[in-house]
């Protein structure tokens, strides 16, 4: 049996991230200011001017070119990070080339307007980094800072925002973001699309972070990849003999490794629980899991409904149409007021079946197989659950699967619980084992 996935709409208060990502070619302004004319205003500090003067010849615009049209498919920023000419940027800037090298090519534009063709030699999907080899030496580089800053210290982020030309913005280092599974720096500076992969440096010109994302609808909440991740990838790129023959295999292996780290951390302590009325439901005790509550009751309603929705901040960018790595779960508790048993049962059946597997995980037929589902009944000490367990495979990333578990109590004519678990991009064994633990944590009193 195949069932479409349950849709969970975005709720007020559930913040989302927008990558400061590579611009699609259709949005690039062909008359944008040249890279050597940065919009430095008179108000820009003398310190920022000195930082920019030192760094500008080490900064590049990274362009992903669609071979069929010879037009830009994405743009971002990179910087020379070693004396051997290795360039750092974001993985999401060059993901099209990594996954579809037959359709895309890379190009770098230097601040003097010259261009060159680099090679992609190493990626770190979990930390959204990539290394390009240029073969050029002796033009200087920006050194990686070996230790973090102190909270409140000033930094300077550089890049090509919106293809408007090379820009420098000031901001402050605010430590690591505790609500993210992957380590990210909270930087209060205006990072925008096109600056992805650019450096954030100290007044001395040392790179303490790499531009990666910003928070949409918020002010000056930007994310940087810490410099130690950049240093580790540069060491790996320098030590390896040639680039991987197939970056898709490399992406799959890195995604699986990151997910194993995630689930090892979650399972290092017993799965937590909370109480919703007479129901005890699973609850993941981790700082990177955030939950929101939504009551839905009024004097005119025949059924009171309380919803608890939780999501992990562990999403990984794979390519423009595919992200993975999140854990989501939702508990819906129903209490009848003045509703007969038959109508209440119909309400729960509707909640259990409504849009099951519709849009919770975006459909991408090119990358993902159809869901295969099993629907049946599971005995628990307090009674019986109706359960559907669905999984689907990633077509081009061997070993990765999505799972959706749906469970509903069927023991009462006046109250019920419907619970949904979604796992994205896990191994089959991890998904099966975690779904079983989740089910075992569900209980209730009669």
What distance in Å separates the CA atoms of residue 221 and residue 121, rounded to the nearest whole number?
A: 31
**Per-residue DSSP letters for 256-280?**
HHHHHHHHHHHTTSPPEEEEETTEE
Q: How far is CA 419 from the centre of its chain?
A: 24
Q: What is the pLDDT of residue 356?
A: 56
Burial class of residue 330, CB neighbours in 10 A (0-12, 13-18, 19+):
buried
Query: What's the farthest any 2 CA atoms get from each other in the chain?
Result: 81
The reply to whether the predicted model has a pTM over 0.75 is yes
**CATH numbers and ranges of domains, the chain:** 255-444 (3.40.1000)
What distance in Å separates the CA atoms of residue 118 and residue 105, rounded to the nearest whole number?
A: 9
- Grouping H, G, I as helix, E, B as strand and the rest as coil, residue 402 is strand
Q: Find out whether 207 and 129 touch, Cβ atoms under 8 Å.
A: no
Q: DSSP assignment, residue 289?
A: E
Q: Find out whether 378 and 436 touch, Cβ atoms under 8 Å.
A: no
Strand 401-409 to strand 415-426: parallel, antiparallel, or no bridges (unpaired)? Answer: antiparallel
What residues contact 12, with CB distance under 8 A and at least 6 apart? Answer: none
Residue written as tokens 């508990």? 331
Q: What is the pLDDT of residue 19?
A: 44
Q: What is the pLDDT of residue 380?
A: 85
What distance in Å separates the CA atoms of residue 213 and residue 222, rounded to the nearest whole number?
A: 6
Strands, E assignment, 268-360: 272-276, 279-283, 289-296, 303-312, 316-319, 322-324, 327-336
Burial class of residue 26, CB neighbours in 10 A (0-12, 13-18, 19+):
exposed
Q: What is the pLDDT of residue 217?
A: 67
Question: Residue 125: phi, psi to the nearest 5?
Answer: -65, -40
What distance in Å separates the CA atoms of residue 207 and residue 224, rounded to the nearest whole number?
A: 11
Q: Find out whether 308 and 330 touch, Cβ atoms under 8 Å.
A: yes
Distance between the two ends of the chain, CA-based, in angstroms? Answer: 32
CB neighbours of residue 278 within 10 Å: 16
Tokens of 83: 């004396």
pLDDT means per 10 residues, the chain with 446 residues, are 28 36 34 39 72 94 96 96 96 96 96 92 97 86 94 95 91 93 94 94 96 82 95 95 90 96 90 94 93 80 91 93 93 89 90 65 77 90 90 94 94 93 95 95 91
What residues contact 371, with CB distance under 8 A and at least 6 apart? Answer: 2, 3, 4, 5, 357, 390, 391, 392, 402, 404
């Amino acid at each position: 049996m195949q069932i479409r996935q349950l849709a969970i709409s975005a709720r007020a208060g559930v913040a989302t991230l927008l990558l400061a990502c590579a611009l699609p070619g259709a949005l690039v302004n062909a008359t944008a200011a040249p890279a050597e004319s940065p919009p430095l205003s008179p108000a820009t500090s003398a310190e920022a001017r000195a930082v920019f003067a030192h760094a500008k010849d080490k900064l590049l615009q990274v362009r992903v070119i669609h071979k069929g049209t010879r037009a830009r498919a994405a743009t971002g920023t990179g910087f020379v990070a070693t004396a051997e000419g290795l360039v750092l940027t974001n993985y999401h800037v060059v993901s099209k080339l990594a996954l579809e090298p037959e359709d895309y090519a890379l190009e770098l534009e230097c601040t003097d307007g010259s261009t060159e063709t680099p090679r992609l030699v190493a990626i770190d999907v979990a930390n959204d980094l990539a290394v390009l080899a240029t073969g050029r030496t002796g033009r200087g580089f920006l050194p990686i800072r070996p230790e973090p800053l102190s909270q409140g210290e000033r930094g300077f982020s550089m890049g090509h925002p919106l293809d408007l030309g090379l820009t420098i913005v000031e901001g402050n280092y605010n430590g690591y973001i505790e609500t993210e599974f992957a380590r990210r720096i909270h930087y209060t500076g205006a990072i925008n699309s096109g600056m992805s992969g650019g450096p954030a440096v100290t007044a001395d010109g040392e790179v303490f972070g790499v531009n990666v994302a910003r928070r949409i609808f918020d002010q000056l909440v930007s994310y940087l990849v810490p410099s130690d991740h950049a240093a580790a990838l540069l060491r790996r790129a320098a030590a390896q003999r040639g680039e991987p023959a197939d970056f898709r295999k490399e992406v799959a292996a890195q995604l699986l490794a990151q997910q194993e780290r995630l689930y090892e951390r979650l399972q290092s302590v017993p799965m937590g629980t909370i109480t919703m009325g007479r129901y005890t439901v699973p609850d993941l005790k981790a700082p990177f899991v955030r939950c929101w509550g939504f009551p839905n009751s009024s004097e005119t309603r025949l059924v009171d409904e309380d919803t608890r929705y939780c999501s992990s901040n562990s999403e990984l960018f794979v390519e423009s149409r595919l992200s993975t790595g999140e854990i989501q779960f939702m508990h819906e508790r129903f209490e009848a007021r003045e509703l007969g048993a038959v109508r209440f049962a119909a309400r729960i059946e509707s909640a259990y079946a409504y849009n099951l597997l519709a849009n919770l995980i975006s459909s991408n037929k090119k990358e993902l197989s159809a869901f295969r589902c099993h629907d049946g009944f599971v005995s628990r000490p307090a009674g019986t659950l109706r359960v559907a367990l669905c999984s689907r495979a990633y077509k081009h990333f061997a070993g990765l699967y999505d799972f959706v578990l749906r469970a509903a109590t069927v023991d009462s004519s006046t109250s019920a619980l419907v619970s949904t678990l979604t796992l994205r991009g896990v191994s089959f064994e991890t998904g099966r084992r975690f779904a079983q633990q989740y089910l075992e944590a569900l209980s209730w009193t009669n």
